[in-house]
Amino acid sequence: MMDFKCIKFFIIAALCIFINTPAFANNTVLVKSLSNFSSMHPRYHISVIVVKEHKFKSGFVLEKDTVLNLKVEKITEPKRGKRNVYIVVHPTTFNVPSKNQKRKFQNRHLMAKVTPYKKLNKTQAAEKGAVSATGIIIPGFSQAFYFCKGFINPEKNKTRLASGGISTYENSPLSYIEKGSELKINKGDYLKLKFYDETTPKWKIFKGL
């Protein structure tokens, strides 16, 4: 059986690897869609506009209002576990607003994962945090919490009991049996572009364009 020092070492090592993964790299850009897109009836070229200036670790800057033209390279399928559809795009050209120039991206291996941007709901985040923390001490607390939440705020055309049951199910592991949703983007929707180099191992930090 491993002693405490060994366990501590492995925890620190895991944290170091986790911190140095692309998830913590400065590679996600907030944009607004200039095109409509549906994974059910896809198109293969879309455009987006940068919402606020973004500086990569390499020093490359995407100015606010830069228009990015993207070629859709991959469309995933909805999978069980509520894994929604997302697309992978290859950025081809961009317009620099301050210089009124159109330029090409030089890296042909540059890709970006496109997913909807959802503004953090602080109330929901706090609820889930409280439920997770309390659930450690009182097993079943989360189910009771979500049942009461649905019971107190019933859905339209649903009884309080039915709403409580629906709320409990949607916030339970059972709901992850369901498949995820198709991707539908409307012009004006906010999106996240997570840039990466398809030739770079996933554990390496992506520094920029």
One domain for residues 144 and 43? no
Helix (H, G, I), strand (E, B) or coil at 103: strand
Tell me the per-residue pLDDT of 172-188, one tens digit each, with 9 for 90 and over: 554 444 556 889 999 99
One domain for residues 100 and 169? no
In terms of Cα–Cα distance, which of 114, 98, 90 is closest to 33? 114
One domain for residues 72 and 107? yes
Is the pLDDT assigned to residue 34 strictly greater than 60?
yes
One domain for residues 91 and 79? yes
Tell me the per-residue pLDDT of 119-169, one tens digit each, with 9 for 90 and over: 755 555 554 554 444 444 444 445 565 566 666 667 667 776 666 655 554
One domain for residues 92 and 140? no
> Residue 94: inside a domain, yes or no?
yes
* C-alpha radius of gyration, the chain, whole number: 22
**CATH code of residue 47:** 2.40.128
Could you list the residue range(s) of the whole structural domain that residue 77 is in?
A: 4-118+180-197
One domain for residues 140 and 192? no
Structural domain count, the chain: 2
Of the given ranges (41-55, 62-76, 113-127, 162-176), which has the lowest mean pLDDT? 162-176
- Asked if 80 and 113 count as a contact pair (C-beta separation under 8 A), the reply is no
Rounded to two decimals, what is the model's pTM?
0.62
One domain for residues 30 and 127? no
pLDDT given at position 144: 60
